[in-house]
Structure 1
């Protein structure tokens, strides 16, 4: 390798000053610390912030990302560190690619994870193409996940900080995208290290609170957002047990999720009841005992496989999976049906598995993320 081809800190064979990096800046401390640190290393940094929805209505919500205040904060970081910053209007794209499907999924009785779709369809697709149009050598984000180069190319790995690991939300990242993406925070031991990095660069956002909930859902009121997108979606109906016996009334299937116990308003029963199934067509919320929530077999589709050999190269894979972001990976057997569909058998049944959530695959012998898919119906 020629002497001038020594890899820089982003793994590219040229000096930082000749390396253009587009940084996806949400206005929070994570992406701000990434942009500031890369600028301080001498990289040709370009900050880009996406306006994803009507930020004027979201100014009062402190926990929302990509709102008006966050755009302002991102701009301030860019000005302080001396690199250009652009705000791109992605409202229509975000509504079509994320919000509409979010509403449809809830109406179908599923529990969607819009942050995954946003990463897949907006940040790592449209924004990544914008970065290429800006002649960037790579795009960096503030996500807590690691990109490591293995024998067969870039691999996706869980973050060093297991409490901050965002691999569940990034399983749709493709091999081609991994060639272009960088995640500088993935190797940090804790969020405190990120805040210390921001303080070192004198950033005003160093002590900014983390974003909470889904960015376009004020105060966590999903039903209100869905009713705004789909007027009349909150039609009332019956709460029934598994035999069909009516136990009470509800104010809209969209107000309930699988595994929910609170808010059912059906007192006087011998044991606690949980939502075990949603039937939007019959406008029924089906409840049952906790034991009825236990799920062992999970059908998964739209699989993004990141293994070194094809998914269908084996009849089954003994891996670990996560069926919700708040749970650690657990042993499972994945039996491929095709390149994009499989049945997952959980060795220990999980409670509250819901269509619309992700099932993410992990190598049980390392930190590697092997992809994942979408849970599409229950058994």
Structure 2
């Protein structure tokens, strides 16, 4: 009698993979690592520290999970679990500072924000007194960043178009690309010093919102150029060739085919640049200063010492007025301004994603 053999579809998957740890085992091992860490802290008499406790528990989890996998699943699966755990751990470590900053800022600043804070300035309000708000700083941030965006976005996008579409193999394109790389690493204070020397000392202008916007243009340009350049290179060459085959000129192909296809990515890069510009402090302290009242004119110096306020400089001035006192009114206003700045950047990013989603080219 012939021996019946199971077809490949009838072979149990577990027989091919060998023994596996139960799905609940990583959670059980994590609980065990926490318990063992707590026992070690109690036996050594070491004072409880959240950071050290977390590091010890994480190391024990990796060791115990790898050991259990090696004993049950074998060397190959154990090595796979080790590196998978390492990848997840590094992701958690990378996200922990961001989550901590957002949580701490919201915890400290949300209680400060109300209607008065968002609609009143610090005019006639003493730094040591409660009250006032960041309305003048919000207006200044939007004006300065808006002016910088008006200059930086077209220059950056057109530079990226030249590098991708026209500059292939050209010496001038290599020079432009080199200086873009150099500008990427320029500290913000250096950009501020350049505008200070050129705009204030050489040309004789006073501090103003426009001067601060010029320094932000220098910081935004490399981000826009590099992000746009990478997105344009992702546009399939077949789209360009199909357009050329129909007799469409190159400039019209770029305007009607390439840029709409890459629009969503371009918007994302622009928002990264705007987010960086909104958070800059050093060049704005040097070129814009601080102000207690509203100034809508970015070209007017107003009071030569304090022409226009922005959220980063407002935070700096309020913390300086608090003199390190965590319970001072200035400290509370600084946290409120920090939450406001985060909220503005988040709103702009959400708007950019909305625009990019509903304006991207569709096949």
**TM-score calculated relative to the size of structure 2:** 0.23
> More strand per residue: 1 or 2?
1
Give the TM-score of the pair, scaled to structure 1.
0.22
- The structure whose RCO (Cα within 8 Å, separation 6+) is larger is 2
Structure with bigger gyration radius: 2
